[in-house]
Amino acid sequence: MSLLTKSLLSTYSHWVIFCRVVDNHGDLGVCWRLATQLTQRQKQVTLYVDEASALQWMAPEGCEGVTVLAWPEDNAALVPYAKADVVIEAFGCELPQTFQAAMAAWPKAPVWINLEYFSAEDTSLRNHGLPSPVMSGPAKGMSKWFYYPGLTEDSGGVMGGMSAMTNSGMTNISLKISLFCYEPASLGPWLQQLNELPQSVVLTVTAGRATQAVRQVIKTWSEPTTFVIEELPYLSHPAFDAMLGAHDLNLVRGEDSLIRAIWAGKAFLWQIYPQDDGVHHAKLEAFLKATHAPDVVVQAHLAWNAEQPTPLPLLTPSNMAEWTAWAQALQQSLQAQNDLVSRLEGFVSTHG
């Protein structure tokens, strides 16, 4: 990196991130990781969030350089917000009117970025980096930029910074599986498959919806499980990352845990966030195509995300070996690229 480039990057020192928590913890998880990784690059970050309670277990020690503030009300009196160099509107959460008015009054407009959800779809790649002029409201005349995280060099990349992990090797004695899910229709058949495996299985279930979903299935069984179920408390980000690294197969959901599972380099199964109009199916298929997923991985993902109970491929040694090889190839592909924060810095330096 040239001295000029370093100088340009260092001038964009104050970043503001806006985050609304919809109905899960993933949005806040992504924004918190982004904020902390920016501080590692000598940035000061202000994170506005409408529901910050999950940070009590997600990041109990906080992070020096990150200031967490409550979401400003649109009808609040205009306050003198500290000028920011970069403003990130995470996942389409429209900025408060008072903050838009403040930005418009600053001597130099910030780089305004609409951070979108991770996607491997062609339309996302085409829209990545395009400007969106603001046509009305207090920020009329300004522009914001679409930023799409993705898997390729021409996308926004993915979040890096994996925490230290303990990697366990798969053995014939025990299969270690972690479960972080919503309420998949195929959960019952899948748990029954685990119950019939010839090898011993330890199923680690994350707190919240996953634990409740598993309990609902198991209580209908007349016979006890043949596998061990370990229920976890809510985990901090470093503890969650380490947990993924210690398992042979990780079932994850949403966006943040998907990226962590990729960095873990273990076989994983993604439950994509379901949307009422069904567009998540196309998004999932684009991901599987872009990652050159083998048949066993494709079948497992389609079954796990099906709207009706659907059997998944059996967790045979050969299937697990192929699944793991795919995950490791994807991990290595992303390791060869710049991460999302590095690309964001470069994007800001050329659009400020």
Active-site amino acid positions: 27, 255
Strands, sheet with 267-271, edge to edge from the N-terminal-most edge strand: 228-231, 200-205, 174-179, 249-253, 267-271
Residues 245 and 289: their CA atoms lie apart, in Å, by 25
The helix/strand/coil state of 260 is helix
Distance CA 130, CA 127 (A): 6
Count CB neighbours of 297 within 10 A: 23
> How far is it, in rounded angstroms, from Cα 137 to Cα 24?
30
DSSP one-letter string for 207-219: TTHHHHHHHHHHT
Backbone angles phi, psi at 18, to 5 degrees: -110, 130
Q: What does 30-64 look like in DSSP terms, one character per residue?
A: HHHHHHHHHHTTT-EEEEEES--TTHHHHSTT--T
Length, in residues, of the chain: 352
CA distances to 25, 101, 149, 170, 227 from 35, rounded to whole Å, are: 15, 24, 16, 34, 39
